[in-house]
Amino acid sequence: MELAEQVLAGNRRALARLISFVEDDDLAARDALALLYPHTGRAHVVGVTGAPGTGKSTLVNVLAKTLRGRDLTVGVVAVDPTSPFTGGALLGDRVRMRDLAGDPGVFIRSMASRGSLGGLALATGAVVQVLDAAGFDVVLVETVGVGQAEVDIARTAHTTIVIEAPGLGDEVQALKAGLMEIADILVVNKADRPEAARTARALEVTLGLGWGHADNGAWRPLVLKTVALDGTGVPELMDALFSHRAYLQESGLLRQRERERVRGDLMHLLERDLVARLIARVGEPALDDWVRRIVEREADLYAAVQALLEA
Amino acid sequence: MSKRLRILVAKPGLDGHDRGAKVVARALRDAGMEVIYTGLRQTPEMIVEAALQEDVDGVGLSILSGAHMTLVPRVLQGLRDAGLDRVGVFVGGIVPDEDVPVLKEQGVAAIFGPGASTDVIVETVRQVLGEA
């Protein structure tokens, strides 16, 4: 039986194998992804992002447990950084997810970022599609610990949860562009700490500045407080998740976001293949020669690009 | 992108001393491998399940409690039952000399005692998993 058929039949070993092929960009993966594609589009994809140590893995763990309590199956993709020096990675998110062991309704996969800088690995989107096709109702995607501008998750996820820890900054931090803007739900985790109320208030004030009094039916990001370790605030977070899902469906945004995502993916693959084709045509030596000439100030970057494109 | 070695590092059983496991995980990471670290107090069933989901090439077990003759065979059997025969199994920790041949007979690829250098561990893992 084809790998893709085995995945559709619920074979977890085949699922794990296929994810590896997808990660390695193996040719076998492309055929399987093509076969699986008609079966995608059913899962709700939830992104969980935030700075290192804010509690992403712990929150993913408790979210998955709560979703299982509502009879929904859960796929988890947890991304950790690859070393830029050795190419190795230490993937440690499972440490906080031991509660999920032994549940056939859960599948957890750790992924190394493999040089990608936007908080996800290049192949994360395709791995999410595989889990979607395999029939998981919800796919939770945990990004690497991020700073301010790693926002790839917003394109992959339907609902993006941004986690903040208490006391990490004032209102000005919350005003900055980037991470804060992609939140559909903002969670102040570790809310048992004294600074939590102030942090939540600062976030709410900042959001309020952007919203004024207008009520145009758009989604207003929610600010919630949780203690992921003991589950405080998680039922409210679950409600927020479901109301965001409903909002996306009713407003037509679900479709619109999918169009944007597909367009982005299409452009990305086109760029990659076009560049590969161009390099195959002109050859690495010619490329190296242009690099040498630019360094020697015999030519400039723009002239090189023009010449290579016309070669 | 070419295939990268993926290794699960796990501590089965009840002893709570994971320094060795962390040192080895770090050394394998620095050797360019993708190391999935699962932490303390894993049952053999949890280890097998994680190995399956993560599609690893090898599993490293750190055992200091003396329970290796019970825990290791259960992991080996579990891997076989799950169809993961080709996954290489390594054991680190306190394993008396007389137990070494028994465990190897059962399918353990290599056993590292106290004082084993991380260089030797990395090289052995690479060789066993076919990436010398």
CATH topology of domain B6-129: Rossmann fold (3.40.50)
Q: Is 70 exceeded by the pLDDT of residue A50?
A: yes
Interface membership of B33 toward A (CB under 8 Å):
yes
Which chain B residues have a beta carbon less than 8 Å from that of A16?
52-55
Q: Is 90 exceeded by the pLDDT of residue A185?
A: yes
Contacts of A267 by beta carbon, 8 Å cutoff, 6+ apart? none
The pLDDT value given to residue B1: 39
Sequential pLDDT tens for chain B (132 residues): 357 899 999 999 887 888 999 999 999 999 999 999 998 889 999 999 999 999 999 999 999 888 999 999 999 999 999 999 999 999 999 999 999 999 999 999 999 998 899 999 999 999 999 864
Q: Is 60 exceeded by the pLDDT of residue A246?
A: yes
Q: Given A95, A108, A112, which is nearest B34 (Cβ)? A: A112
| Contact state of A88 with B34 under an 8 Å Cβ cutoff | yes
Q: Is 60 exceeded by the pLDDT of residue A148?
A: yes
- Cβ neighbours around A3 below 10 Å, total: 19
Is A101 in contact with B49 (CB distance < 8 Å)? yes
Interface membership of A112 toward B (CB under 8 Å):
yes
Beta strands in A214-279 (DSSP E): 222-225
Interface membership of A251 toward B (CB under 8 Å):
no
Q: Which CATH number fits domain A40-251: 3.40.50.150, 3.40.50.410, 3.40.720.10, 3.40.50.300?
A: 3.40.50.300
Residue of B nearest to A108 (CA): B53
Mean pLDDT for the stretch of residues A77-105 = 93
Q: Given B2, B37, B55, which is nearest A20 (Cβ)? A: B55
Smallest CA-to-CA distance from A217 within A240, A242, A248 is with: A248
Shortest CA gap A158–chain B (Å): 24
Shortest CA gap A224–chain B (Å): 30
Is A95 in contact with A127 (CB distance < 8 Å)? no
Is A76 in contact with A204 (CB distance < 8 Å)? no
The pLDDT value given to residue A206: 80
Mean per-residue pLDDT over chain A, rounded = 91
Interface membership of A11 toward B (CB under 8 Å):
no
Indicate the domain borders of chain B.
Answer: 6-129
Touching A: B residues 64-103, CB under 8 Å: 82-84
Alpha carbon distance B17, A44 (integer Å): 40
CA Rg value for chain B: 13
**Which phi and psi (to 5°) does residue A69 adopt?**
-65, -25
Q: Which two tokens stand for residue B110?
A: 């290599």
Contacts of A140 by beta carbon, 8 Å cutoff, 6+ apart? A46, A48, A60, A63, A64, A74, A75, A76, A77
pTM, two decimal places: 0.90
Indicate the domain borders of chain A.
Answer: 1-37, 40-251, 265-310
The pLDDT value given to residue A95: 92
Q: Helix, strand or coil for residue A44?
A: strand
Which chain A residues have a beta carbon less than 8 Å from that of B36?
91-92, 94, 110
Shortest CA gap B10–chain A (Å): 10
Q: Is 70 exceeded by the pLDDT of residue A56?
A: yes
Give residue-wise pLDDT tens across range A4-25.
999 999 999 999 999 999 999 8
* Contacts made by residues A96-99, CB under 8 angstroms, sequence distance 24+: A96/A57, A96/A58, A96/A60, A96/A61, A97/A57, A97/A60, A97/A61, A97/A64, A98/B38, A98/B39, A98/B42, A98/B46, A99/A61, A99/A65
Mean pLDDT for the stretch of residues A143-164 = 89
B23, B35, B131, best to mutate vs chain A, most A CBs in 10 Å: B35
Helices (H), A2-151: 3-8, 12-23, 27-36, 56-69, 124-133
As a whole number of Å, the end-to-end CA separation of chain A is 46
Give residue-wise pLDDT tens across range A249-286.
999 999 988 898 899 889 988 998 999 999 999 999 99
